[in-house]
Amino acid sequence: MAVISANRNKNLVYIVDRDVAIVEALRQKLTSVGFETRAIGDVGQAITAIVENAPHLVIIDWNMPGLAALEVIQTVRKLRSRDRGRLIILSALSGEQDVVNGLNLGADDYIVKPFSVREVVARVSAVLRVLPRAEQRSVLTVDEVVLDLNNYQVTARGQSLSMRSVEFRLLEFLMLYAGRTFNRHQLLNQVWGADSTVDERTVDVNVQRLRKILARSGCESYIQTIRGFGYRFASPDRVG
């Protein structure tokens, strides 16, 4: 996954972690590719900073003591808007249920430690949607499902649907190649990035979440499982 080298409108990123080495490595790399960063090792300071100046993204270590991480996550969620309050969880917990729990808390992505700094930067860029596009698409439409890429909005059967960045990216990719089937490895490379260390279970978890979101408008059948291979986005009347 490519990483943008410059950003005209700098995205503000808070890194909330007590591990000085990790924080400094992330801060330096994110700053070098155009992000405005702030490293915070204290939860109280993090909450104050988030309330006073809502960042575009918070990277939070899930392993902060007590309920510290949860307090930060709850604060971010209260201030979330279309372009502010994105959230990435860092954690040493790598089980499928751990990932599911993190996503259910409202995280846009979940990165398991240890990780490569390059991977984190790529996934930060993906969450904030600052990757350069080969095509200047503004709207993707497949039957009853419409993605407004400029305004980060999804409409299905006329109903507006709310989803997180990773789900939006997954839906965008599947809709862009509607009718084509992709295996889990291909989806990992295209949506999470070739350098990602997440495993294929992450794809299954997010496909199921995306399907549940589309179910709110009765469009869950657009996300189709091709047994023994992978997933595709196609009209419900298409079979085989």
Q: What is the pLDDT of residues 44-103, one digit of tens each?
A: 899 999 999 989 999 999 888 767 888 888 888 888 765 688 889 998 887 778 887 888
CATH of the domain at 112: 3.40.50.2300
Q: How confident is the model at residue 197 (pLDDT cuts 50, 70, 90)?
A: low
Q: What is the pLDDT of residues 25-47, one digit of tens each?
A: 999 999 988 899 999 988 889 99
Are 207 and 176 part of one and the same domain?
yes
Residue with tokens 């080298």: 5
In a domain, 4, yes or no: no
Are 30 and 111 part of one and the same domain?
yes
Q: How many domains does the chain have?
A: 2
Identity at 117, one-letter amino acid code: V
Residues 34-47 as b or e (16 or more Cβ within 10 Å = b)? bbebbbbeebeebb
Are 113 and 143 part of one and the same domain?
no
Q: What range does the domain containing 157 cover?
A: 139-233
Contacts 24+ apart (CB under 8 A), 110-116: 110/198, 110/202, 111/197, 111/198, 112/197, 112/198, 115/90, 115/197, 116/195, 116/197
Are 224 and 164 part of one and the same domain?
yes
In a domain, 2, yes or no: no
Q: How confident is the model at residue 176 (pLDDT cuts 50, 70, 90)?
A: confident
pTM more than 0.75: no
Sheet of 57-61, strand order? 36-40, 12-16, 57-61, 86-91, 109-112
Contacts 24+ apart (CB under 8 A), 199-205: 201/96, 201/99, 202/99, 202/110, 203/231, 205/96, 205/99, 205/100, 205/103
| Residue 153 neighbours by CB distance under 10 Å | 16
Residue with tokens 């104050």: 48
In a domain, 164, yes or no: yes
CATH of the domain at 144: 1.10.10.10
Are 179 and 89 part of one and the same domain?
no
Are 117 and 17 part of one and the same domain?
yes
